[in-house]
Structure formats: structure tokens, C-alpha cells
Amino acid sequence: MVDIRVVGARDRQKQEFTEEISNLVCPGDVITTDTGFMRGHGTYMEDEKLHASVAGVVERVNKLICVKPLKTRYNGEVGDVVIGRIIEVGQKRWKVDTRSKLDSILMLSSVNLPGGELRRRSEEDEKMMRNYLKEGDLISAEVQSVFSDGALSLHTRSLKYGKLAQGTIIQVSPSLIKRRKTHFHTLPCGATIILGNNGSVWISATMNEETEQTGGYEQDLEPVSKGDREVIARLRNCVIALSEHQMMLYDTSVLYSYEESLRFNVKDILKPEIMTEIIENTQPRLESLGT
């Protein structure tokens, strides 16, 4: 049976969920006529009035006013968790695509050596770089510093970071990822989710803690069971549903939407009316928690 739908139906249902945001501005809108405020990112002065230069949400910190764009490339900050793909192996460094304005850099000195050895990197380590990480590998890492041109320097020194395998990746807007103390979550449904600050979400089956001696380089390529694949697919569709309705992504919102989706088949979750029903049931639960 073929499921044929009208394109405009999905847009109409999404519009019902658009919340009124009082501090939403468009380019050229006057934010304030008070000259006592300082001009921040996304603003400009004209005729002694502060105007918005981008479409976004006005944020005030004391006397500083800035506009946070609704859609923008990822701007990294120190401490951010990111998911990226190795695109080039260079001299004592890897170049990583993290969906930011410039390619990120992962230095050989910023990774764990196999077995967790703590020593200076030698010429032999440089020759073995492709054995650690090669082009096309997907990794999780943390932003160590930001260069003057905006490029990011990454590190994977913690055992929770490293090469990713046997899962699925979803790309959403970085503005939808809620900043939390941790972005690595093991959900009770039997899956692990990494919510990268750069808008990349990684979902995989929960693995046993056997990576202590691998330095994050070895991939478990054992076949994933059908039950785990179904959980991963359901979580993926729930993340897509949340992002389609511009809802913030964090462990609680993903878990609640997963629980609300259990009444439906995995393949049906992305149907507009079912997607809307899941979000309608998820929102009150999140609001009751005050999140």
C-alpha cells in the first residue's frame, strides 16, 4: 500500500506548534532606543537606536544586548562535546569536519595512546596515525581551545571519547541542543545517545564497559540484534520529530518522546499526524517538570 500525502499538510500542522516568542526580531527591527545598553553580536546602531542585524532571539546580560540567530553554523566554545568525521590525516594532526565554519584540528598530542600510555609522542606514533584514525572515521571529542580565526582544537583524552561505530547519526540545528553538564546519556530503553553541541546526534546500542585498554580506537563490529536496531530506529525518529517541531533536545525530552511513541510502529512515527500527536503528549510532561 502506498501512502500519498499533500505537501502542505505537514506545514499546517507544524504551524499550530509555533509558540509566541516575545523577544523574536527580524533584521532591521528596533530592539531599544535606550542608549545605556552595550551593543553585542547581531546588532548595530543607527539614529541612536539599537537594531537587529539577524533574525533571532534577543538576549540580555546586564547591559549587554545581543541577538542569537535562529539558524547559524556551529560556533564552538571550550568544553563543548562534538561529533565529527575525519577528513584528512596530516603531520601530527587530523583534520575533522564538525559542521562549523572552519575544519577543526585534532592534534596527535591530544589523543589517548592505545593502552592509555602517558608519554611523549614519537616518530613511530606519527607513522601509526592512520592505524588510530583514518579518513571517514566518526569520532566524539571535546573542544579544547578556539583559535583566533574561529577554528576549533579538539581532544579525546578521556576514555568516553573516541571512535564511534555500530550506530546512526542525525544532523539537527545546533541551536536545538540544550547545554547540560553531560551530553553522554545511557537511556533505560537500552541505547546510548550522544548529543553533540554541533548538532550531531549519535545513537547506538548500550555497550559493555570493555574499552578501558583500547584508548578509544577499537570498534566493536559485532552484529547488532534486531531488538537493538528497532530501539535505535525509534529513537532516531523521535529525535527527528522533536527537531521538526523546534523542541530542545536533551535526555528527558528524547526519553519522554520515545515513551509516547511506543504505541506506534517505528515506520509510522514520521507521519505528520502521528509525529504531532507524540509531540502534543510529550510537551505537557516536560512542562510539568518545568523544563
User: What would the pLDDT profile of 177-224 be if each residue is shown by its tens digit?
Assistant: 998 999 999 999 989 999 999 999 999 998 765 544 455 666 677 888
Residue of 52 and 290 predicted with greater confidence:
52
pLDDT at 123: 83
Q: Please determine, for residue 19, whether its predicted confidence score (pLDDT) is greater than 70.
A: no
Q: Does residue 222 sit in helix, strand or coil?
A: coil
User: What would the pLDDT profile of 117-163 be if each residue is shown by its tens digit?
Assistant: 667 788 888 888 888 889 999 999 999 999 999 899 999 988 889 89
The number of CA neighbours under 13 Å toward the Cβ of 167 is: 27
Band of residue 24 on the pLDDT scale cut at 50, 70, 90: confident
User: What would the pLDDT profile of 236-273 be if each residue is shown by its tens digit?
Assistant: 999 999 999 989 999 999 999 999 999 999 999 999 99
pLDDT at 86: 95
Residue by residue, DSSP assigns 18-75 as PPP-TTEE-TT-EEE--TTSEE-TTEEEETTEEEESSSEEEEEETTEEEEEESS--B-
Whole-angstrom Cα distance, residue 254 to residue 248?
9
Band of residue 282 on the pLDDT scale cut at 50, 70, 90: very high
pLDDT at 20: 47
pLDDT at 275: 93
pLDDT at 212: 44
What are the cell numbers at 203?
Answer: 545513537
What are the cell numbers at 18?
Answer: 509555533
pLDDT at 288: 87
Q: What global pTM score does this model have? A: 0.81
Q: For residue 88, give Cα distances in angstroms to 106, 142, 224.
A: 10, 18, 29
Q: For residue 289, give Cα distances in angstroms to 126, 180, 241, 256, 284.
A: 50, 16, 20, 12, 9
Band of residue 14 on the pLDDT scale cut at 50, 70, 90: very low
